Structure 1
């Protein structure tokens, strides 16, 4: 771990911190107050914590999938006024072949901060920037609180999710700003009771559930609530995406008080999701799908650049219980409205030209489809 002009305090200490010597690039955190006693689990970051500046600095025997990896913790807090910097800008000029040679799994760059099988974890007040891949990940964990953090990476940095949740329950994310090259918040299978409030996403791919059900897998997500969300300069606003052939259910999802600006598609449900690397065989038609039921959109307003709403639901397992109320869109430029609706066996596709000034969709889809 490289610590530049900073102090990393794993345990609060009243003793003065030693001076950082010029020319030194590595330090022992025990010199700055780390007890290492297995009991005191509060970490304060009050400076810049820098990842290694290139692939050659990582261990050669086994390239890590995570840089800072926390496992099997209970009652752990990361807080402070400092920055965790993944320095991924130093990797963007590296060719894909060299990336494949150097990382543990071919082409997969490390997540910056990951919590695994940990409970009652808080992350607050810090800044996380320039991750090679995902910035902050919670896997197989519970009782998670994230507050007042800032995540930032360029909008063209691939696969750099802001916050990634997987098999994690009882999550509260609030009062945070996230800008990245992928989903600002990504919610994957096994997540439930997730609350997001006062989130700014700019740029990125918005708030996403999925992709779920990849490779015919089982996916279950429930009780997700996002309110007072601001999304700007993004590909999507709020989105649910599932792969064909998957199994399971997405249920009881609410998006309310969502503001969008310069967003390509603010509202999307896509049961035909397939990423660019999926290949024709993987993206072919399947007879099963992850079910989507009980999704509510309330008070969504702003500007879009492509289409305001896209609902692409499966014939095999249609979306049910989808409702929208007080949904307002203004075109950033004249655009074509395309709503693809396949629900309850009634397939229909409607398209019409929107006025250049303003399009209202108010109290639409109040009845279940």
Structure 2
């Protein structure tokens, strides 16, 4: 059965994670506060080999660097080689490099100098100590560096306060970028403050306002933290808040462990996804709390072997795969598991969203043991995703198959049916399985009309509300995911 094969794959992923991440603490362990003088973040052993084709799981014997199919641009390496080692104990306190930490002075140069020094030694630590507030401008922290590098924030770290104070020479699409790194840890007990309020109010992108109104929001607004073309990463313990746009983004990475994060922005802040991944494989996201104005976690094209567990999400737009296939593009996503999660006060629960005209497939997705609390669109597949009124039905679509929903219970907002399967006219959704799905209205009467369109699957147990629109068996035109280039 597909489900059994999925479990086997997840077991393999778990083995790979714990093998690759070496001495990192287990995700259910209590995380003690690290001493500032200690070597922070155990090195991560065993870099996965890269493949030039992001969808090819079998790397060559002498692999070239991993390159996403549509990589975002990154400026050239701003750091000279062989930076001077200024500390014998491998801890490089930014205040020793001239950082003031009063929330007003520009501490960018001190952070860059500390990074260069730590990058040159094994298990180097860039330390932003507690009781300071550091302001730095848009910066690329570039590798390659010696193994075991840690960037530890125990104080507060923030960008300039809004677009008016943003240096004109700096990119408005990103703030902190970690580029071409292996075996790096980003951790601490401090706060990453995004100062996003003025970005959210820029008059160039509509977003929802109170009482059904439409407000304007940002276009070119910086993602707060971005990891690009890096491997064997650990992110742990930080509080990240009020990002101008995405809080944390991973592009073209392999081997990512995220644990014990707090991410928060106001409910109506536009495009403030908590964690976004694309063209990224072997990802674990655990024991984190995310509340924001968009998806808690969004999974883009080119992602595989993603395990999400112990996440509390809301208010938000839920946990989403997609959107995929925009502008007739190809998108391949496989082996995604979301389990033991809470989603509350959110516009969506667990969602797969694709554009008409796309190609590729979404396969092997499991949503298990999820508690819903006053959620609209608790279970949602939407293959007619569109950001304007001009979208038209098309003959090609991203193929969605082998999707499993088990033990999903709680309450829903009665403005929408809690279950919605809107699959493409031309390419049906297949092998949808529901088991122990019990969703009751938060208030008002039970809505007993879940929506299905061209969706095929089975109910292992009766659902609440009943879902009689899911079709049995297979569609007349059965397709294979290989037909979609994945």
Q: Distance in 1 between matches of 2:199 and 2:441?
A: 37
Q: How does 1:307-326 map to 2 (within 5 A)?
A: 307-326=417-436
Residues 422 and 451, structure 2, Cα contact 8 Å, conserved in 1: yes
CA drift of 1:338 comes to: 3.6
Secondary structure of the residue that 1:215 maps to in structure 2?
Answer: helix
CA drift of 1:63 comes to: 3.0
Most deviating of 358-367 and 150-159:
358-367
Q: Distance in 1 between matches of 2:434 and 2:261?
A: 31
Q: Which residue of 2 aligns with 1:340?
A: 451
CA drift of 1:292 comes to: 0.4
2:242 counterpart of 1:160: no
Q: Distance in 1 between matches of 2:171 and 2:465?
A: 51
What's the CA shift string for 1:51-98, capped at 9, x where partnerless?
11121322213533110011111111101101111110233344339x
CA drift of 1:16 comes to: 10
What's the CA shift string for 1:209-235, capped at 9, x where partnerless?
011111111011000001001000000
Q: Distance in 1 between matches of 2:370 and 2:102?
A: 49
Q: Distance in 2 between matches of 1:361 and 1:344?
A: 15
Structure 2 gap segments, 5+ residues each: 1-35, 41-88, 121-144, 206-217, 458-462, 475-486
Residues 189 and 220, structure 1, Cα contact 8 Å, conserved in 2: yes
TM-score, scaled relative to structure 1: 0.84
Q: Distance in 2 between matches of 1:268 and 1:16?
A: 47
Residues 191 and 221, structure 1, Cα contact 8 Å, conserved in 2: yes
Most deviating of 125-134 and 35-44:
35-44
Residues 421 and 455, structure 2, Cα contact 8 Å, conserved in 1: no
Q: Which residue of 1 aligns with 2:155?
A: 47
Which of residues 188, 192, 195 in structure 2 aligns to 1:84? 192
Q: Distance in 2 between matches of 1:16 and 1:165?
A: 30
Q: Distance in 1 between matches of 2:352 and 2:389?
A: 21
TM-score, scaled relative to structure 2: 0.65
2:111 counterpart of 1:29: yes
Q: Distance in 1 between matches of 2:451 and 2:282?
A: 33
Secondary structure of the residue that 1:35 maps to in structure 2?
Answer: helix
CA drift of 1:337 comes to: 3.9
How many residues were matched structurally?
Answer: 339
Q: Distance in 1 between matches of 2:94 and 2:311?
A: 37
RMSD after superposition? 2.9
Q: Distance in 2 between matches of 1:76 and 1:23?
A: 27
Which of residues 348, 351, 368 in structure 2 aligns to 1:236? 348
Q: Distance in 1 between matches of 2:94 and 2:350?
A: 48
Residues 329 and 361, structure 1, Cα contact 8 Å, conserved in 2: no
Residues 257 and 300, structure 1, Cα contact 8 Å, conserved in 2: yes
